[in-house]
Structure formats: structure tokens, C-alpha cells
Amino acid sequence: MRATGESLLSSFSQGATGAGRANSATVAHQGTARPRLPRERLLQASVLLPRDIAYYQAMNTTLLAPPEAPRRGSLAIVGMGMTLGSHLTPLSRSHIEQADVVFAGLSDNIVEQWLERMHPDVRSLQPYYQEGKSRRKTYEEWVDLMMAEVRAGKRVCGVFYGHPGIFAWSPHKAIEVARAEGFPAHMEPGVSAEDCLYADLGIDPGTVGCQHYEAGQLLFYERRIDPSAYLVLWQVGLVGDRSLARFTTSGAYRQVLVDVLSQDYPLDHEIILYRAVTLPIQKPRIRRIALRDLPHVDVPTEETVILPPAAPLKANMAIRERLAALDKMEKEASSA
């Protein structure tokens, strides 16, 4: 910075000298040339007052860099994807490597160990789960942990399995709080279980449509189901839990779910229980059973239930006729 300051001062001095030479004969003033001062007047002008000396002494002071402002904290929430080492994007990896501290909400211990090879300060969020403790309380603690470091001026990266914004309250809340307090915060997407599901089961949601529900919503609320589209139910292993303090519910709760679904699907309708792989050496778990058997099989929370369409798409003839009339009108207007 000292060299830069001296260079600036040198350029200022050269510019002033050059300007003095250029204006030694005449000085432009409001469009009128002023004659050069007599020699005795120049001698008088060369005598500097004390205030002038102080001014020029100040001009020769080395320029100093302004004090650095305290670094502001930031928050990046990234998705690890589902499969170890396969789904992490280069941008998400960059956020992890450049962070001061990394918080990990991952699905597998091995995945956490792999993350620890990428950063020296990885803090697992899993220990905050406890049987009998409300998951909402745990998720609030996660937000507090991440925000404490952001407020301390650190670059914080929260790493979550799959897509960090799907079935994940804490990442969304942490970003909301950070932005409300004026901190930069954003989310990077990741490969989700839904993405893997389409690939592993060969489902194209664009053919007949696809509905996604957290399974409990079908019990707690009056939701409309379209049996002509795919129905994907998440967290069936926890269906019916209102305490947010359990990690699983019994078959009796899944029987209630079957009773609700039987209003739109026959009991012998084939359904799929699916789990995406988390390690490259694994294969996806795919089980096919009748709807009536759902209460009698083990359904871990990480498994998803898919109901294929049970009815064909029904043509909406009234709307089709309306669209045909519009097509005819546009064709006639273009040919007129």
C-alpha cells in the first residue's frame, strides 16, 4: 500500500508540474487570458504561510489503507444428493470447501465420514435427534446452531442429503432468518429421492401426471386424489404421528391410511415400496405388494410408497370442443 501511495503522489506531482509549465505563460480564466505576473510578484507568491506548509506536508504523508470492515457472515445450503460421491455438484462442493464451518444433516455415517475428508470442521446434526423429543425442537436447534456461526461472521455451509429443500424445514427456515437479518443466504439444489425414483422405476411424470403428498396429510386433511395419475406418498413409516416425537408408527396407523386410499383404489391394487441407494455398492430396494398388505409389512421411514394409476385418463369433451372452436376461429382469421 506504501508503494501505491507513493506512486499516486508521484503522479500527482508530475501532473502538477506539467500543468505549471503549460500555464506559465497564460492562465485561462473565464475565457480571458491573464498576463504573466512580474518577477517581484512571483517572489512574493513564493513565500508560504504556515498553513500552506502544513498543507503540503500533509500531501506528502504516505497513503494508508482504510481499516477493514468486519467480515459479514453468510449461509449456503447445499444438497449432497442421494448416492455417495455421485450426486454432489461442483458448485456445492465449492461451497463446502470454502466454508469456515460445515453442518451436516446426512442419512448415513459413511457419507458423513466422506464429507469430513473435504473439510476439517464438519459438525454433525444427527446427535440432536432423540426418541421422545419433538423433531420440531430438533430442527429449531439446527437453525440456531447455523445462525450462531453466521452472526459470528463465518461462512457457513449446511449440507443435507438429497435435495436440501425437500421435506426439510430447517434449511428453508435458516435461509429465511439469515436474509431477514441482512446476511447473504441461498440454496443449491441436489439430486433427490424423487429424481432417483423416476430413474429406477422408469416413471415419466409427464405421461399421466404425478401427485406427491406427505402421507399424514391424507389423514389429517381432506385431500383430493386423482387415481388416473401416479400417487407418491412420503414418510409412510411415520404416518399418523401427531407428536413429532416418534421415529415410526405401527401397522394400525397404516391401516387407517389403507382405509382412506381404498376410497379411490381397489385393495388388490399393486403398490410399490421404494428406497434409493445411498452407497454406490447398493441397489435400489423395490418391493411390490397389494394395497391391503401395507399394514402388515415393515415400512422404514426412508422408504417411499408409490401407487400406479388405477384408472385411465378421462377425456374432457366439453373443453375439447371449446378448444376446437378456438382453433377454427383462429384459422379463419388468419386466412381472411
Q: Is 274 a catalytic residue?
A: no
Compute the distance between CA of residue 176 and CA of residue 169 in angstroms, rounded to an integer.
11
3-state SS class at 217: helix
DSSP assignment of 114-165 equals HHHTT-S-EEESGGG--TTS-HHHHHHHHHHHHHHHHHTT-EEEEEESB-TT
Please give the backbone phi and psi of residue 221, each rounded to the nearest 5 degrees, phi first: -135, 160
Cβ contact 287:332 at 8 Å? no
Compute the distance between CA of residue 154 and CA of residue 101 in angstroms, rounded to an integer.
7
Q: Is 230 a catalytic residue?
A: no
Cβ contact 317:325 at 8 Å? no
Kindly report the number of other CB atoms within 10 A of residue 303's CB atom: 20
Compute the distance between CA of residue 247 and CA of residue 252 in angstroms, rounded to an integer.
15
Long-range contacts of 120-127 (CB under 8 A, 24+ apart): none
Among 117, 128, 135, 288, the active-site one is 135
CA dihedral 94, 97, 102, 107 (to 10 degrees): 70
Among 155, 161, 230, 253, the active-site one is 161
Question: Which among 145, 152, 148, 143 is positioned nearest to 176, based on CA atoms?
Answer: 143
Among 139, 230, 265, 274, the active-site one is 139
DSSP assignment of 287-311 equals EEEEGGGGGGS---TT-EEEE--SS
Q: Is 288 a catalytic residue?
A: no
List the beta bridge partners of residue 77: 158, 187
Compute the distance between CA of residue 310 and CA of residue 266 in angstroms, rounded to an integer.
8
Amino acid of residue 18: G
Cβ contact 88:80 at 8 Å? yes
Active site residues: 135, 139, 161
